[in-house]
């Protein structure tokens, strides 16, 4: 579909370059990908045989392939062709044809209205500015069936603006001690990507037509939202 000239281009890489095979190769280890945790999350969301779900910003496909193991048909959406290739290789090794690739983003995927039972996204929505996060969430709402469910996990600052410098430094230090991300990489996220505050994120989800059923926050940095289309 042709977009107007003011429409945000969501296919551009923001922050770390996931067109780089080296970044993709280390993604699971550095992001803490855990198939067991993904399965528990999917089961909590009620994902099972016959359902249609979407994983937006699918990364290397760990969660998508767990959903396929549970019997769901999974639309995987990512702006990185390298990520999608890795996801589809994982699905092929699993022997499933229930994983459907879309080289697209939150604002450019073509998932049909009211076709999804569940939409999921982990650590991807922060690639969009707040204005376009709202548009992205509204598009996911349209893609979900009535009563469809959304799970969103992202970097969300659970603090007052005056606390941001201290929270940022604490996060950079924690990441250096506990993950493979160095100071420059985390600083790039804070400076160049579009993580927002918790009260803004909650408001965007609700304004997009969802009811937040539950929210969990940790380290003043991470947020999980479970929501239902209303």
CA angle, 197 then 111 then 11, to 5°: 55
The percentage of the chain sitting over the pLDDT mark of 90, rounded to a whole number, equals: 87
- Cβ-contact 154, 126 below 8 angstroms: yes
Give dist(CA 212, CA 204) in Å, integer.
11
Bridge partners of 218, per DSSP, are 222
For 71-104, write each residue's pLDDT tens digit: 999 999 999 999 999 999 999 999 999 999 999 9
Give dist(CA 73, CA 16) in Å, integer.
29
pLDDT at 186 over 60: yes
Bridge partners of 41, per DSSP, are none
Residue at token pair 């551009």: 12
Give dist(CA 18, CA 103) in Å, integer.
13
Mean pLDDT of 47-73: 96
- H or E element at residue 68: helix 62-69
Domains located in the chain, CATH noted: 21-156+195-229 (3.40.50.150)
């Amino acid at each position: 579909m042709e977009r107007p000239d003011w429409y945000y281009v969501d296919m551009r890489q923001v922050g770390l370059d996931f067109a780089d095979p080296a970044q993709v190769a280390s993604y699971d280890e550095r992001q803490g990908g855990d198939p067991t945790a993904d399965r528990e999350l999917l089961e909590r969301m009620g994902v099972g045989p016959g359902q249609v779900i979407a994983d937006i910003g699918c990364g290397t496909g760990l969660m998508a392939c767990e959903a396929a193991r549970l019997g769901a048909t999974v639309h995987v959406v990512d702006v990185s062709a390298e990520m999608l290739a890795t996801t589809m290789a994982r699905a092929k090794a699993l022997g499933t044809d229930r994983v459907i690739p879309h080289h697209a983003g939150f604002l450019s995927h073509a998932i049909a209205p009211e076709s999804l039972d569940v939409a999921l996204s982990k650590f991807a929505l922060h690639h969009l500015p707040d204005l376009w996060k709202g548009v992205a969430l509204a598009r996911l709402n349209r893609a979900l069936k009535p009563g469809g469910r959304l799970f969103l996990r992202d970097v969300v600052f659970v603090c007052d603006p005056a606390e941001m410098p201290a929270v940022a430094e604490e996060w950079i230090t924690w990441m250096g001690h506990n993950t493979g991300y160095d100071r420059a990489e985390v600083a790039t996220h804070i400076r160049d990507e579009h993580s927002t505050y918790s009260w803004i994120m909650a408001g965007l989800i609700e304004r997009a037509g969802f009811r937040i059923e539950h929210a969990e926050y940790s380290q003043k940095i991470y947020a999980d939202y479970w929501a239902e289309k209303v």
